Amino acid sequence: MVKVLLAQPRGFCAGVIRAIDIVDQALDRVGAPVYVRHEIVHNRHVVDTLKAKGAVFVEELNEVPTGAVTIFSAHGVSRTVQADAEARGLPVIDATCPLVSKVHIQGRRYVQAGRTLVLIGHAGHPEVEGTLGQIDGEVHLVGTPEEVESLPLALDAPIAYITQTTLSVDDTRAIIGALTARFSDVTGPDTADICYATQNRQSAVRELCEHADMLLVVGSPNSSNSNRLREIGEEMGKPSFLVADGSQLDPRWLEGVETIGLTAGASAPEELVQSVIAAIRAVTSVTVETLDGLEENVQFRLPPALDRLPQRARVA
């Protein structure tokens, strides 16, 4: 018998729900296919489900036929991509998470105010690439405190920082500390502007690991926030594993374990969490409890461009 403790909150955040709803509603309005630049969110199950409904995922706009409805992923895109779509006359629905868009606006404001901008994030991540392409002027990308030390900037230069949304206050604290220690004039957004979902899920995992013998995180290997949840479990001294779904559960992980902490990244649907519970139940008897935690009631409006799509003819 093992106990499964579920984190609260876990799984889908408001930005992911909004992005998936955008694809679903676009398909409902115009019919298949609609084209999505990059994975709408970083979860293979979600992507495959939308593919089955008629969404076509592409990496570049030149893969989109002329006139086809085009959706930008929740991670955001550069201004170059936006301009290319406009030049081609593509009907675009922007599914960029509103919290990501907020970071873009903050960055532009800091640059307009004459500050040198530092972006705290992971090189190569789609959100980071999009943010870099949304800012006019030079942006310095740093991912560690050590990289702050090598920034080619005067110590009295006016600095401003913005952060990748899938990093929490805890993730960015050391880097912000390195910036303020090295430079004399540093500003940045209030900690309240950090993505609520990232912070809440990481806090829930820390609480979970106080009660569990091991940690399972449901999420895709390319999901930044899911990987960070697993890393937190390891930092807290717990065996921690990232699984896409129940099929990846290794029964050997359960040997000698009495309590399993189970959570999911912000792009992982609840059905995958349930598939992991079913896989555990196939090995041993299980009780399931949910830890007390925050109830998230955040909702984001859908973009007005959805309403401007032509409705396909309905068969009576």
Could you give the strand order of the β-sheet that contains 116-120, starting from the edge strand earlier in sequence?
139-142, 116-120, 158-163, 185-187
Catalytic residue among 63, 86, 127, 289: 127
How far is it, in rounded angstroms, from Cα 100 to Cα 86? 21
How far is it, in rounded angstroms, from Cα 120 to Cα 127? 11
Nearest to 202 by CA among 236, 178, 179: 236
Q: Are 305 and 30 in contact (CB under 8 A)?
A: no
Cis peptide, bond prior to residue 158, ω within 30 of zero: no
Q: Is 127 a catalytic residue?
A: yes
Which residues are marked as active site? 127
